[in-house]
Amino acid sequence: MIPLADAQAAVLAPVEPLPPVRVALADAHGLVLAEEVVAPEPVPPFANTAVDGYAVRASDTASAPVRLRVVGELPAGAAPGRAVGAGEAIRIMTGAPVPPGADAVVMVEVTDAHGDEVVVHESVAPGANVRDAGGDLEAGARVFGPGTVLTPAHVGVLASLDRHEVVCHPRPRVGVLSTGDELVERGPLAPGKIRDSNRPMLRAVLAEAGCEVADYGIAPDDEHEIERRIARAVDECDLLLTSGAVSVGDYDYVKVVLERLAARRPGSGHRWVQVAIKPAKPLAFAHVGRVPVIGLPGNPVSSRVAFELFARPVLRRLAGHGDAGVLPVPVRAVARSGFRRRPDGKLHLDRVRVSVEGGRLVCERAGVQASNVLSGMAAANGLALVPDGEGVDAGDEVEVLLLGPPA
């Protein structure tokens, strides 16, 4: 058995970020930028008012209260027209350009309108309530650099700069393939059959992770059929996830096939390891040419756990995330009840329900803790990392990989 960190390092070693492509800004959310973005123009493009009120000469308000003549109106979107002269004001709405002659804006709340005059009750300093041109971004400023993960705010900034395409690492295209003679897609079950739950689960978690999914269906336990599908998938995808057929059963063909495909393509590699974790101990991974293939265990909980520990980091590396953003980062939570276990040389990943109590994260085991019981996984929103030994006492802290928001 090898430690989890070693297994993760080995899986990631041959994986490189996907070559950058041009992506429509509308599709870029969540992607990793691969270019330097420079502001071609200032943001905001012109000095404008931060409040509704009156554009004035600040010096005119020095002896407030003062009465000024209202000589015009500027709603947002209007081009500045007439200048503000001495003793004058222009009614102005948030976002409208500050007209020439004015150097401050008086909030409407400290004024009283009287026909074509306004009484200003408080004096303002020059620049008050004015948002300068380029106050957010100056023309020529370096805005975002390679490696930036594009959040909704980044998308908004890019739109404000008239960028409708950006150079990013693309969303990985990920193939999913289930194996097993016992698996059916849907409908009534003949004796000995079960429905495929891994592939729908993996499709869902991949969609959630912002990947493109390519579905290679259910392959029977037939070496040639498994080979045919894997060979096609590695030609069409950036990563392939198979499930099942990686342990030591008589019909476990995935490793045989990966070994053969890897031997045929230069630059390939493969490795079968036992990882010192429970669940998801057996792990098969290969890269056929440049395309990583992860053979997830068949048991659905193991499959889901192995996805989190091995497949997601590969996806994040492919998607261009920096080293700090590749491996999952645990949070610390207080164990509400004890996590008892026996020493076995393995790190246990217990399915837990994480919640917030008094501003702190607490967790407790959720559902049945068996690698075939997927409803236990469904009851959980985290995986507690229970180190080898006797376990964790109630009230102690335990590290948890969050799979969703605390409940």
* Residue numbers at the binding site for Mg ion (CB under 5 A): 180, 244-245, 298
Q: How many residues bind ligand AMP (CB under 6 A)?
A: 19
Write down the least CB distance from residue 197 to ligand AMP, Å.
4
Contacts of 124 (CB under 8 A, 6+ apart): 56, 58, 61, 104, 105, 106
CB 89 within 8 A of CB 70: yes
CB 400 within 8 A of CB 348: no
Write down the least CB distance from residue 345 to ligand AMP, Å.
22
Of residues 189-228, which lie at the interface with ligand AMP (CB under 6 A)? 194, 196-199
Binding window for ligand AMP (CB under 6 A); candidates: 42-50, 293-301, 313-321, 395-403:
293-301
Write down the least CB distance from residue 184 to ligand AMP, Å.
10
- Rg, C-alpha atoms of the chain: 30
Nearer to ligand AMP, 172 or 300 (CB): 300
Q: Residue holding tokens 């409803």?
A: 375
Q: Per-residue x/- mask for ligand AMP, residues 57 to 86, rule CB under 6 A?
A: ------------------------------
Position 319 contacts ligand AMP (CB under 6 A): no
Write down the least CB distance from residue 242 to Mg ion, Å.
10
Partner from Mg ion, ligand AMP, none binding residue 196, C-beta < 5-8 Å depending on class? ligand AMP
Peptide bond into 42 cis (omega under 30): no
Contacts of 230 (CB under 8 A, 6+ apart): 177, 240, 242, 254, 257, 258, 261, 288, 293
Binding window for ligand AMP (CB under 6 A); candidates: 21-29, 142-150, 298-306, 331-339:
298-306
Torsional class of 36: left (φ above 0), alpha (ψ -120 to 50), beta (otherwise): beta
DSSP per residue, 147-168: T-B--HHHHHHHHHTT--EEEE
CB 245 within 8 A of CB 298: yes
Nearer to ligand AMP, 61 or 178 (CB): 178
Residues that bind ligand AMP (CB under 6 A): 178, 180, 182-183, 194, 196-199, 243-247, 249, 297-300
